[in-house]
Amino acid sequence: MTTNFPDKIRSLTPFSDRFEAFKLQAENCDVLFATYPAGTKIEPHDHETDNWGVITKGEMIITMNGQDHVFGPGDWYEIPAGCVHAARCDQDTEEIEFWFKTE
């Protein structure tokens, strides 16, 4: 997938799990610059981190507590640590996501 992220961001450490991203590690937080091709589906899961994200391109549908929440460019979301959630992208999507460590 072609990304709109600048070369400096694309030169960060590659990250690949349920999606592709470039990872910037910070103290008590990881920052991911993520891309999701149209049709991406992320199965239900949870994290040990508090996750915040902002959509920079496309649209992400996040399911939490049985409800779908739609986020587009400029929209921020929060997923608390331990919250089971799933996501899907029906169109090419990019985001910046912050994984804050809980203590």
**CATH code, domain with 19:** 2.60.120.10
Q: Is residue 32 part of a domain?
A: yes
- Asked if the structure places residue 1 within a domain, the reply is no
Instruction: Examine residue 66 and state whether it is found in any structural domain, yes or no.
Output: yes
Cα distance between residue 84 and residue 15, in whole Å: 21
The side-by-side arrangement of strands in the sheet containing 13-16 is: 13-16, 20-26, 29-36, 93-101, 49-57, 76-79
- Domain assignment present for residue 74? The answer is yes
> Residue 75's beta-bridge partner residues?
none
Q: For residue 75, is it within any domain? A: yes
Residue 51 near residue 42, CB atoms below 8 Å: no
Q: What is the pTM of this model?
A: 0.81
Q: 46 lies in a domain?
A: yes
Q: Could you tell me if residue 38 is inside a domain?
A: yes
Q: Does the residue 2 lie in any domain?
A: no
Q: DSSP letter string over 61-75?
A: EEEETTEEEEE-TT-
Q: Cα(83)–Cα(60) distance, rounded to whole angstroms? A: 17
Q: Which domain holds residue 82?
A: 7-101
Domain count, the chain: 1
pLDDT in tens, 13-69: 888 877 888 888 788 899 999 999 999 999 999 999 999 999 999 999 999 999 999
User: Would you say residue 93 has pLDDT above 70?
Assistant: yes
